[in-house]
């Protein structure tokens, strides 16, 4: 129980423990002095091979609130840009005594590979098109805060499922926590074996919206057009964008989520993004709490309490 | 006095039959029968070992010239000898590409100088494996290397017109095009077999249809122009069905399967360890079963290793950055024993057909793939199927260690290999 590589590695009890711990730690953010001594003397390295300001500063804030020493290592302008391999970088961090490594990498499986080369805990902050487990945890935390529960919630995840690490982690974690997930996308943006996943699938957003408690919109990169995943951005928005008319089809208590960064006008309208039922800003705040919880549970004690 | 040019092999089971003796003299098999008198011949105790004709690999990457850090003709042919091979076909994707008479002659000479096994160069179909213009196939055919197999392996000859022309053109000198069947657009950036595992792992998929569509097209083309066609490393159930159907119609198509595709499956990618990254990718258990059945019933003619050595750094990395390919020469016969013989799908005579006689026929290689009979070239492998061993790539003759069987226990061991009567391997050690 040393790393957090996949949301699928978490049992229901472990996932619940993370969410409960995050809830307690969230109170730190409300204090005037936003700091706990828990990880004093521990070193956390943020190893970011992809640009991701949002996730990096979230992890950095989480580690600093726990009093950990934080080293930010970004691939640009570093030894990596000079051709250093991931393994050599890993051995360097190891030699510097990193207790935990938070890795963001464009290659699926990079976090798992890293975990075979370092002794410290490895936290997957997004690996290629594979997983992003802390995003799924913060999404579940946000649902629980807003809706009071996760079990039994009807969650629609809409957009580029095929290339989404957020979708993969959410499907696994939400299934573990007992939510009913429906993936909504054009068939070209769904994995070929998606029917084997623990969720339902629909090609038609309009049919799913009235039956949803949570609608999670994923970013759709316009450049997917070049690979013929859909004809035009306009047509994508016509069929899968959460515009004002579609928003009106949701029941009154339903919430709208987005992992960011969002493309207003493409997958979500400005009015929907800014509505009180949008949780987009809360998700950012919750991200810090959940990452504090994960760091605490992996690095805080002599034996970590979650992950594998 | 020991006669170093003569060897008496005692008690070998020819093609798995009864124990008998073989006398090798003057590069040929001089006598076969029980209780032979070898005179002053060196004696090899082969009791219990199966004697097979020297194996022939139709698909080997020796990496020289250009990537001598991964393999050289010298190290690769030593690995071949350790695997029981007496001839290998060296693939054309070297640096420079083997697309001229000059390069194929260089590789041919390097092989002759190594002395561990005959090296038959494969010529590229297109200039620089670029897929746009035909290489000088006739010049390679007429060179001292006498190239008969042409392949852009690693790349598919995807242009249908160019493939048609190549199939037609090589008829003039009895050549064959060996196609690496991979529709390029369907496999852009592909990392592993497309299916349940790739979807879960978030690795871009290499769909079976990308192989099957090219095989179907090329069988139809070969039939249309009356040419023979060879399909490299068949990896899917659908491909087996397409080839079986084409053969039934009378299409002159042959096909190969690699040892790794006979046993390994795509779930090994769960580790994200690129030691299991290969092209075509490891497929599903269903595909493995169909490949074994196809090899057993003759739909797939031969086993070919696709021995693809890579240096450590090409594999000790993230999956998507890693090189594709696996070594295979030194484990091939053991894997075939495990997958095909111990399962009752093939007997040793059929193994000899699929790993020696048939590949030599497809490659138009004289002097190899001949029966173990008096007067034939003394290309012999002695294989002891009764022992088992843990695969240790560090102990192999290949310069590279990227064996997917690392740490696994495999049955059988090559005890000796003779190339025209000269031992290249004795007592399991390369000479």
Fill in the DSSP letter of residue A219. P
* Chain A residues touching residue B320 (CB < 8 angstroms): 106-108, 128
Residue in A with minimal Cα distance to B272: A109
* Three-class SS state of A106: coil
Separation of alpha carbons B231 and B239, rounded Å: 10
Provide the chain A residues 152-211 that lie in CB contact (below 8 A) with chain B: 165, 168, 191-194, 196-197
Q: Are B207 and B260 in contact (CB under 8 A)?
A: no
CA terminus-to-terminus distance, chain A: 4
Together in a domain, A16 and A68: yes
**Chain B residues closer than 8 Å to A107 by CB:** 318-321
At residue A223 the predicted structure's pLDDT band, cuts being 50, 70 and 90, is confident
Note whether A151 and A270 are same-domain residues: yes
| Domain-located, residue A260 | yes
Residues B269 and B336 both lie in one domain: yes
Residue B42's DSSP bridge partners are: B7
pLDDT band at A73 (very low <50, low <70, confident <90, very high): confident
CATH number of the CATH domain containing A207: 3.40.50.1370
Q: Do A289 and A182 reside in the same domain of the chain?
A: no
Instruction: Look at B272 and A128 and tell me if their CB atoms are within 8 Å.
Output: no
In a domain, B61, yes or no: yes
- Positions at the binding site of B: 59, 61-63, 93, 153, 180, 233, 279, 306, 310
Q: Which of B152, B287, B306, B384 is catalytic?
A: B306
Of A12, A31, A34, A54, the catalytic one is A54
pLDDT band at residue B268 under the 50/70/90 scheme: very high
Q: Is residue B192 part of a domain?
A: yes
A247 and A257 share a domain? yes
Asked if residue B1 has pLDDT above 50, the reply is: no
Q: Which of A86, A113, A165 sits opposite B202 (nearest CB)?
A: A165
Give A192's contacts in chain B (Cβ within 8 Å). 194-195, 199, 205, 207
Q: Does B195 touch chain A (CB under 8 A)?
A: yes
Together in a domain, B81 and B32: no
| A153-159 mean pLDDT | 98
The separation between the first and the last C-alpha atoms of chain B, rounded to the nearest angstrom, is: 21
CB proximity list for B156: less than 8 A, separation 6 or greater:
B131, B179, B180, B181, B182, B183, B184, B214
A2: in domain: no
Question: pLDDT for B299-310, tens place per residue?
Answer: 999 999 999 999
> Per-residue pLDDT tens for A229-247?
999 999 999 999 999 999 9
| Mean pLDDT (whole number) for A1-14 | 94
Question: If pLDDT is split at 50, 70 and 90, which confidence band does A305 have?
Answer: low
Contact call for B317 and A194, based on CB within 8 A: no
A17: in domain: yes
The pLDDT of A158-187, averaged and rounded, is: 97
CA distance B139 to B148: 11
Task: Identify the domain boundary among B309, B330, B362.
Answer: B362
**Least CB–CB distance from A108: residue in B194, B195, B320:** B320
- What's B28's domain CATH number? 2.30.40.10
* Smallest Cα distance from B241 to chain A, Å: 22
Question: Does B271 lie in the same domain as B242?
Answer: yes
Same domain, A44 and A171: no
ipTM topping 0.90 = yes
B276/chain A closest Cα distance in angstroms: 13
A109·B194 Cβ contact <8 A? no
**pLDDT tier at B180, thresholds 50, 70, 90:** very high
Closest-CA residue to B301 (of B222, B383, B225, B246): B246
Quick one: A153 and A96 in the same domain?
A: no
pLDDT greater than 60 at residue B343? yes
Closest CA to B105 of B152, B141, B150: B141
Asked, for residue A272, whether it belongs to a domain, the answer is yes
Residue B71 has pLDDT above 80, yes or no: yes
**What is the mean predicted confidence (pLDDT) over B357-378?**
97
Same domain, A172 and A98: no
- Interface residue of B185, B187, B201, B202 to substitute, partner A, most A CBs within 10 Å: B202
- Confidence (pLDDT) at A52: 84
The answer to whether position B368 is within a domain reads: no
List, in sequence order, the alpha helices (H) in A12-153.
12-26, 53-65, 86-95, 110-115, 133-147
Say whether both B146 and B28 belong to one domain.
Answer: no
Of B195, B196, B272, the CB nearest to A109: B272
Q: Which pair of tokens denotes residue B87?
A: 């001839």
Q: Is A224 a catalytic residue?
A: no
Q: Is residue B369 in a domain?
A: no
Q: The whole model's pTM is what?
A: 0.95
Tell whether B317 and B425 lie within a shared domain.
no
- Output the average pLDDT for chain B: 97
What phi and psi, each to the nearest 5 degrees, are found at residue B287?
Answer: -65, -45
Task: Please determine, for residue A77, whether its predicted confidence score (pLDDT) is greater than 70.
Answer: no
- As for how many domains chain B has, the answer is 2
Same domain? For B385 and B249 the reply is no
Tell me whether A213 touches chain B (CB under 8 Å): no
**Helix (H) / strand (E) containing A183:** strand A180-184
Residue B405 and residue B281 share a domain: no
Q: Which residues contact B147 (CB under 8 A, 6 or more apart)?
A: B104, B120, B121, B122, B123, B137, B140, B141, B175
Q: Mark whether A21 is an active-site residue.
A: no
Is residue A1 assigned to a domain? no
* Alpha carbon of B16: minimum distance to chain A alpha carbons (Å): 44
> Residue B102 belongs to a domain with what CATH number?
3.20.20.140
Facing residue for A110 by CB, picked from B191, B199, B318: B318
Residue B273: closest CA among chain A residues belongs to which residue? A113
Q: Which residues contact B180 (CB under 8 A, 6 or more apart)?
A: B151, B152, B153, B154, B155, B156, B157, B232, B233
> What does the pLDDT average to over B392-396?
96
In the DSSP assignment, the letter for residue B91 is: P
In sign, the C-alpha dihedral spanning A165, A170, A175, A180 is negative
Lowest mean pLDDT among A227-236, B18-27, B49-58, B120-129: A227-236
The reply to whether B209 touches chain A by the CB within 8 Å rule is no
The verdict on A64 touching B (C-beta cutoff 8 Å) is: no
pLDDT confidence tier of residue B390, bands split at 50, 70 and 90: very high
Q: What are phi and psi of B266, to 5 degrees?
A: -70, -15
Structure token pair of residue B269: 């990618």
Average confidence (pLDDT) over B255-270: 98
Which segments of A are annotated as binding site for L-aspartate? 82, 165, 219
The whole-number pLDDT of residue B196 equals 98
The answer to the question of residue B131 being in a domain is: yes
Domain co-membership, B142 together with B255: yes
Domain residues for the domain of B31 are: 3-50+375-430
Q: Do residues A122 and A141 both lie within one domain?
A: no
Residues B25 and B63 in one domain: no
A108–B194 CB contact, under 8 Å: no
A15: tokens are: 């996932």
Within 17-56 of B, beta carbons closer than 8 Å to A belong to: none
Question: Is B61 found in the same domain as B150?
Answer: yes
Please count the structural domains in chain A: 2
- Could you confirm whether A54 is annotated as catalytic? yes
> Residues of B marked as binding for Zn(2+)?
59, 61, 153, 180, 233, 306
Q: pLDDT confidence of A28, banded at 50, 70, 90?
A: confident
What whole-number percentage of chain B has pLDDT above 70? 99
Are both B383 and B334 inside the same structural domain?
no
Q: Is B189 on the interface with A (CB under 8 A)?
A: no
Say what percent of chain A tops pLDDT 90: 79
Of B199, B273, B319, the CB nearest to A191: B199
Residue range(s) defining the domain that contains residue A193: 133-279
Computed on alpha carbons and rounded to an integer, the radius of gyration of chain B in Å comes to: 21
Same domain, B337 and B354: yes
Judgement on whether residues A100 and A173 belong to the same structural domain of the protein: no
- Tokens representing residue B58 in the block: 């139709």
């Amino acid at each position: 129980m040393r790393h957090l590589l996949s949301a699928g590695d978490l049992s229901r009890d472990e996932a619940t423990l993370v969410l409960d711990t995050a809830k307690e730690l969230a109170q730190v953010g409300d204090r005037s002095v936003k700091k706990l001594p828990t990880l004093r003397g521990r070193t956390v390295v943020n190893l970011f091979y992809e640009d991701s300001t949002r996730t990096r500063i979230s992890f950095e804030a989480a580690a600093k609130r726990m009093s950990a020493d934080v080293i930010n290592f970004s691939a640009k302008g570093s030894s990596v840009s000079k051709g250093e391999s991931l393994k050599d970088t890993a051995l360097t961090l190891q030699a510097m005594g990193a207790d935990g490594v938070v890795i963001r990498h464009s290659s699926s499986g990079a976090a798992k590979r890293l975990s075979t080369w370092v002794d410290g805990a490895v936290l997957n902050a997004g690996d290629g098109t594979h997983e992003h487990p802390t995003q799924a945890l913060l999404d579940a935390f946000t649902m629980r805060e807003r809706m009071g529960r996760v079990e039994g919630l009807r969650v629609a995840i809409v957009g580029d499922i095929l290339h989404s690490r957020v979708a993969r982690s959410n499907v696994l974690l939400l299934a573990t926590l007992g939510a009913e997930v429906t993936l909504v996308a054009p068939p070209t943006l769904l994995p070929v074996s998606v029917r084997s996943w623990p969720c339902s699938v629909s090609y038609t957003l309009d049919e799913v919206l009235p039956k949803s408690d949570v609608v999670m919109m994923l970013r759709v990169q316009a450049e997917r057009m070049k690979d013929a995943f859909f004809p035009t951005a306009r047509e994508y928005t016509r069929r899968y964008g959460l515009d004002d008319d579609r928003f009106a089809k949701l029941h009154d208590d339903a919430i709208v989520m987005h992992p960011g960064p969002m493309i207003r006008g493409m997958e979500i309208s400005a009015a929907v993004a800014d509505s009180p039922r949008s949780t987009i800003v809360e998700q950012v705040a919750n991200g810090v709490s959940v990452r504090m919880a994960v760091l605490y549970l992996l690095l805080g004690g002599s034996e970590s309490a979650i992950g594998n | 006095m020991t006669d170093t040019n003569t060897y008496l092999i005692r008690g070998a089971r020819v093609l798995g039959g009864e124990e008998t003796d073989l006398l090798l003299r003057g590069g040929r098999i001089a006598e076969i029968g029980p209780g032979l008198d070898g005179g002053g011949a060196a004696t090899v105790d082969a009791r219990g070992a199966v004697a097979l004709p020297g194996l022939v690999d139709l698909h080997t990457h020796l990496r020289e010239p250009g990537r001598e850090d991964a393999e050289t003709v010298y190290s690769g042919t030593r690995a071949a000898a350790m695997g029981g091979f007496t001839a290998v076909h060296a693939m054309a994707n070297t640096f420079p590409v083997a697309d001229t008479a000059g390069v194929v002659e260089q590789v041919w000479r390097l092989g002759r100088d190594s002395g561990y096994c005959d090296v038959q160069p494969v010529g590229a179909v297109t200039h620089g494996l670029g897929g746009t213009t035909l290489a000088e196939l006739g010049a390679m055919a007429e060179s001292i290397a006498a190239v008969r197999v042409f392949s852009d392996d690693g790349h598919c000859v995807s242009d249908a017109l160019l493939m048609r022309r190549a199939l037609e053109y090589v008829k003039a000198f009895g050549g064959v095009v060996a196609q690496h069947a991979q529709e390029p657009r369907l496999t852009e950036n592909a990392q592993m077999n497309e299916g349940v595992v790739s979807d879960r792992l978030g690795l871009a998929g290499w769909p079976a249809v990308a192989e099957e569509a090219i095989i179907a097209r090329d069988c139809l083309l070969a039939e249309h122009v009356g040419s023979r066609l060879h399909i490299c490393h068949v990896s899917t159930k659908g491909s087996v069905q397409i080839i079986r159907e084409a053969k039934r119609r009378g299409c002159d198509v042959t096909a190969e399967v690699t040892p790794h595709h006979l046993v390994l499956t795509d779930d090994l990618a769960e580790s994200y360890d690129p030691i299991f990254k290969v092209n075509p990718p490891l497929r599903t258990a269903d595909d493995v079963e169909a490949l074994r059945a196809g090899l057993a019933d003759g739909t797939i003619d031969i086993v070919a290793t696709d021995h693809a050595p890579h240096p450590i750094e090409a594999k000790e990395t993230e999956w998507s950055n890693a090189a594709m390919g696996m070594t295979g020469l030194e484990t091939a016969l053991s894997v075939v024993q495990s997958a095909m013989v111990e399962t009752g799908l093939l007997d040793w005579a059929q193994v000899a057909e699929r790993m020696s006689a048939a590949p030599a026929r497809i490659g138009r290689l004289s002097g190899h793939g001949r029966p173990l009979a008096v007067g034939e070239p003394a290309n012999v492998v002695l294989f002891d199927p009764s022992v088992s061993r843990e695969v240790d790539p560090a102990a192999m003759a290949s310069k590279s260690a990227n064996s997917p069987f690392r740490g696994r226990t495999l049955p059988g061991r090559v005890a000796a290999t003779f190339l025209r009567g000269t031992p290249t391997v004795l007592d399991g050690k390369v000479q």
